[in-house]
Amino acid sequence: MHSFPAPALAMVEQMSQAAAAQPERAVALQGAPGCNSHRAALEYAPDCLPLPCFSFEDALDAVKEGKADRAIIPIENSQHGRVADIHFLLPESGLFIVGEYVMAIHHALMGLTEGPFTAAYSHPQALGQSRHYLRERGIVPMAYADTAGAAAFVREQGDPRACAIAPRLAAELYGLKLVAENVEDANDNTTRFVVLARTPLDPATLAGGPAMTTFVFEVRNVPAALYKALGGFATNGVNMTKLESYQKGASFAATTFYADILGAPGDPAVDRAIEELAFHCKYLRILGTYRQARPRG
C-alpha cells in the first residue's frame, strides 16, 4: 500500500479497512482507486468492497491469504492483446477462475493544466491503446503501474507538462482537469477480466447455461505433439476459442499453452477431449469452469 502515490493513500487505507472488516465481501484488484479494475469490480459485484492492491501479485495474495474473497484481474484487451505476466501468475497462484467480465474501456487525458503536455503516464496497456493519439500530439508515453495511480502520480508531482491517461473517475478523485475523453484509438476497445477465488466452481452448478473452461498445458517434446493433443477437440466437436503459447524457463524447449474452450467437464464430449489432451501432455491444469459472460462466435 505504501507504493501508491500520496493522493491515493488515504482512499486506499479507507477501502482496505472496510475490506478487512468484511473480507467475505472484498474483491481484490490491481490499481489505485479509480482504475478500470475498480470500475469492473463494482459493475461485476455492485455490493462488493473493492480492495486496491499495488501489483497483480498483491491482489492474488490477498485472496490466498483470506483478505479478500475474490480478485478481478484483466487478462486481455481487444486492441492491445494479453495483459503481461498474467498467464504466468494465474497458474502459479493456485487460485481458480470462477467468473469473467467483459467491459468497454474508455480512456481520458487529464492533467494539472490543459496542456500542452510532453509526457503521459499510464499503465502500458492504456498507453498502447492510445498510442496513435499520443504520437500525433508529440506526447511521450511513460509506463506506470496502473491508470488511476498515474493520475495520482501526476497530482503528486505537480508538473504542468505531465498528464495521465486514466478513467474519467480518476480526474474527479485526484482533482485533475479533464482535458480530453475517449482518447483510445479504437471505439470498440474492450477488456476481458477474470474473477479468481480459492475454490473452483462445481461445473454441475453451471448446467443450463453456456460455460467456459480454461486450462494450461505443456505437450511432450515430440514431433506433432500439439497436433495430436488438440485433435480430440476437433473430433469431439468442442470449440476452442483461445490458444496462446508462452515460454517457461530458459531452455526454449518447453512451451506452455493457455486455452479457453466452450463447455464444462461433465459433458461427455469435453471429458473425452480433455482425456485425449492429457494423454499427450507432460502437464495439464484446469484453471476453472465458469459462466460465459459474452457469447463467442
pLDDT digits (tens, 9 = 90+) for 10-46: 999 999 999 999 999 999 999 999 999 999 999 999 9
Beta bridge partners of 245: 257
- The pLDDT value recorded for residue 70 is 98
- The pLDDT value recorded for residue 249 is 66
- Residue at grid coordinates 487529464: 110
> Does residue 45 contact residue 186 with C-beta atoms inside 8 Å?
no
At residue 224, the 3 state secondary structure works out as: coil
Interval 249-268 mean pLDDT: 85
Q: H or E stretch including 230? A: helix 225-235
Domain at 203-291: CATH code: 3.30.70.260
pLDDT exceeds 50 at position 1: no
Which tens digits make up the pLDDT trace of 143-202?
Answer: 998 899 999 999 999 999 999 999 999 999 999 999 999 999 988 889 999 999 999 999
Q: Does domain 108-181 have CATH number 3.40.50.300?
A: no
Instruction: Enumerate the active-site residues.
Output: 191, 193
**Topology of the domain covering 6-103+190-197:** D-Maltodextrin-Binding Protein; domain 2 (3.40.190)
Among candidate residues 120, 130, 105, 114, the one with its CA nearest the CA of residue 150: 120
Which tens digits make up the pLDDT trace of 80-137?
Answer: 777 767 778 888 899 999 999 999 999 999 999 999 999 999 999 899 999 999 999 9
Query: Hey, do 6-103+190-197 and 108-181 end up sharing a CATH topology, with the first three levels equal?
Result: yes
Instruction: Locate the domains of the chain by residue range.
Output: 6-103+190-197, 108-181, 203-291
- The pLDDT value recorded for residue 207 is 81
Residues 6+ apart with CB under 8 A from 212: 100, 241, 260, 261, 262, 289, 290, 291, 292
pTM of the model: 0.91
